[in-house]
């Protein structure tokens, strides 16, 4: 019996693979002091909701990097459907290797993906790939308050033990050789609309799936959604808009 891929079952066909929205993506893009042209790389693009938003707005090729081939295939399909196929180039590779493949990057964009290799490591390793004065925009899960409900703190101890406060992340960015130009916190609604509101019923329907791995992934997903509901806005995704110094 072939094992079902839990990620495909839970996330299959979903446009959003994380919190966010096109309007937030474009609002943050507008925080850059000038419009980027030239080499634009989207690191950890997933299905590429934001990749398409960037390419559409900038009318500039976007080089989309992800290590999961099915996501890239669905991005190409989406780009063709949106009539911007020629603007999207995909690379199935690890985002830690970006500096080996690309040099002189004008804008490196990464929504909700840098944690896969660690925020500090991502910023350090990408630094050499950017042209002088190049821009980096990374959204990173961050603590937003000192006061965090106990079960929320407990969840992230295993879920993302390296999570830092927004102020700590500013220091990380400066240490890695960037100047922070602006920040933007994703509104609560962008976690729910088209993401948790679709994910919850799907995960619930998989709780009695014959495959143990699928059941486990489904219940982890539901626990994450429950934690968000009791978070009292103690954490969120913060976009850090940075310039290479």
Q: How far apart are CA 129 and CA 103, in angstroms?
A: 5
Instruction: Assess whether pLDDT exceeds 70 at residue 187.
Output: yes
pTM more than 0.85: yes
Predicted local confidence at residue 1, as pLDDT: 46
Predicted local confidence at residue 174, as pLDDT: 98
**What does the pLDDT average to over 74-101?**
97
Q: Domains in the chain, please, with CATH?
A: 17-149+160-187+235-244 (3.40.50.150)
Render pLDDT for 14-48 as a digit per residue (tens, 0 to 9): 889 999 999 999 999 999 999 999 999 999 999 99
Share of the chain above pLDDT 70, in %: 99
Q: Are strands 88-92 and 164-165 parallel, antiparallel or unpaired?
A: unpaired
Average pLDDT over the chain, rounded to whole? 96
Determine the Cα angle at 97 with ends 44 and 116, to 5°.
40
Instruction: Assess whether pLDDT exceeds 60 at residue 2.
Output: no
> Which pLDDT band, with edges at 50, 70 and 90, does 185 fall under?
very high
**What does the pLDDT average to over 123-144?**
98
Predicted local confidence at residue 12, as pLDDT: 85
Instruction: Assess whether pLDDT exceeds 90 at residue 128.
Output: yes
Q: Are strands 40-43 and 62-66 parallel, antiparallel or unpaired?
A: parallel
Q: How far apart are CA 185 and CA 27, in angstroms?
A: 11
């Amino acid at each position: 019996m072939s094992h079902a891929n839990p990620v495909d079952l839970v996330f299959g066909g979903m446009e959003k693979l994380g919190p966010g929205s096109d309007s937030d993506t474009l609002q943050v893009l507008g925080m850059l002091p000038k419009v980027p042209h030239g080499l634009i790389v989207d690191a950890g693009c997933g299905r590429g909701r934001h990749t398409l938003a960037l390419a559409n707005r900038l009318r500039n090729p976007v080089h989309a990097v992800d290590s999961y081939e099915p996501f890239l295939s669905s991005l190409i399909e989406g780009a063709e459907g949106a009539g911007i196929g020629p603007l999207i180039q995909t690379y199935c590779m690890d985002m830690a290797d970006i500096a080996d493949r690309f040099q002189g990057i004008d804008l490196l964009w990464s929504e909700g993906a840098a944690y896969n290799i660690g925020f500090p490591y991502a910023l350090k390793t990408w630094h050499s790939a950017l042209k002088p004065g190049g821009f980096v925009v990374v959204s990173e899960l961050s603590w937003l308050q000192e006061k965090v409900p106990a079960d929320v703190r407990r969840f992230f101890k295993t879920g993302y033990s390296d999570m830092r406060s927004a102020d700590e992340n500013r220091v990380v960015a400066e240490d890695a050789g960037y100047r922070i130009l602006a920040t933007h916190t994703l509104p609560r609604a962008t976690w729910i609309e088209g993401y948790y509101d679709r994910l919850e019923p799907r995960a619930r329907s998989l709780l009695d799936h014959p495959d143990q791995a699928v059941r486990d992934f489904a219940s982890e997903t539901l626990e994450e959604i429950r934690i968000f509901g009791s978070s009292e806005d103690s954490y969120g995704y913060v976009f850090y808009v940075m310039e290479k110094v």
